[in-house]
Every structure is written in structure tokens, then in C-alpha cells.
Structure 1
Amino acid sequence: MITEIVTFALRPGTTRQRALELFEKTVPRWRANTALVRKYYLFDGVQGRGGGVYLWSTLEDAKAAHDTAWCDQAEALYGDRPRFEYFETPLIVDNTD
């Protein structure tokens, strides 16, 4: 498994409510991506940052989902070009079961 962390600066003054509205626009795309295992949306109102934490089966799946076209769309939507970090995820603890 691969954990991908994507972050970007939000436009100045973006509230939590506005960020949520923007994030909700992207939900159908991620629900339709069968390679995605799980996604968490991130918001930091103090630092004016947003992003997501994604769990993928492979690094190739992660990079395919966040290609240049996606980066262009994200920049238009949020106001900043996203940055990416990738981590091998050898173990997961899930306390929801």
C-alpha cells in the first residue's frame, strides 16, 4: 500500500465552509476511482492550507490519479499547485471494526 499526502495553499480568506464546498465538488471523481482505497480531506484554517491523504494499492495508481491535468484543475479550484509526498504503508491499524 502507498500513502500519498497532497497539500496546497488555499486562497487567502478561505473559510472551513468554503473549503468544504470546494472539497465536495471533487467527491464524485474520487468515488468513481476504483484504484483509490481511501481518502481523507485536510483543512488548516490557521495556515490557510488544504489537501488530502490518500491510500492506494500502488504508487502507479497514485501518480496516475494526480497527473498534470489534475494538477491544473486543482490549481484552478484552490489557487495553488499541489505538492506530493509518498510513503510505503506496511501496516494499518483500523479501530473502526
Structure 2
Amino acid sequence: MITALVQFKLPQPITVEKAKEIFLSTAPRYRDIDGLIRKYYLLSENGEVAGGVYLWRSHEDAEKLYTDAWRNLIAEKYSAEPTVQYFASPVIVDNLVGNIITDA
């Protein structure tokens, strides 16, 4: 599994309430993306940086999302350029369902 960390600096800080409103407007488009296991939306405590943590089945699946069109969508929505970092995620502890998940 691969975790992608996406971040972008906002032109102006936003509140958690505003972030939630914006994030809810984009969340449905991530529902049925092939290979995407989970997505967390992020907002820094000072409201200056936003982004997401994405858990993917593979690096190839992740790269299918992070296209120029996706980058343009982020730039238009948030007036900011995203960065993407990839991390191997060989073990995940999921306390919500009580599982330890490992790479297949």
C-alpha cells in the first residue's frame, strides 16, 4: 500500500468550518476511485495549509489521480499549487474496525 501526502499553502487562512464546507463539496468525487482505500482531508491548526492523506492499493493507482487536470482543479479551487509525497505503508493499525492491515 502507498500513502500519498498532499499539501498546499492557502493564500489566506481559513477556519475549520469553512474547510469542512469546501471539503464536503469535493468529497463525493473521491467515492469510487479505483485503488483509493481511504482519504483524510487536512487543515493545519493555523488554517494556512490544507491537503489530504490518501491510502492507495498501489503507487500506480495513485498516479492515475494526480494528473495535470487534478492539479489544475486544486489550483482553481484553493488558489494554491499542490505537492504530493509518497510513502510506503506496509502496516496499518485500524482501531475503528480493530484490524492490523498489511501489504498483500
TM range (shorter): over 0.9
Q: Which has the higher helix share?
A: 1
User: Per the alignment, do residues 89 and 13 of structure 1 end up closer, same or farther by CA in structure 2, a change over 3 Å counting?
Assistant: closer
Structure 2 counterpart of 1:32, which letter? Answer: D
Alignment match, 1:20: 20
Structure 2 counterpart of 1:63, which letter? Answer: E
Q: CA RMSD in A?
A: 1.2
**Structure 1, residues 11-51: CA drift from partner, whole Å, max 9, x if none?**
31322221111111111110121321001110014150000
Look up the SS of the partner of 2:96 in the other structure: coil
Q: Normalization by structure 2: what TM-score? A: 0.86
Q: Which runs of 5+ in 1 are unaligned?
A: none
- Greater gyration radius: 2
> How many matched pairs?
97
Q: Which has the higher strand share?
A: 2
Q: Normalization by structure 1: what TM-score? A: 0.92
2:6 matches 1:2 = no
Q: Which runs of 4+ in 1 moved over 3 A?
A: none
- Percentage identity across paired residues of the two chains: 41
2:35 matches 1:35 = yes
Matches within 5 A, 1:8-87: 8-46=8-46, 48-87=48-87
Q: Which runs of 5+ in 2 are unaligned?
A: 98-104
Say whether the 8 Å CA contact 2:3–2:53 is kept in structure 1: yes
Look up the SS of the partner of 1:3 in the other structure: strand
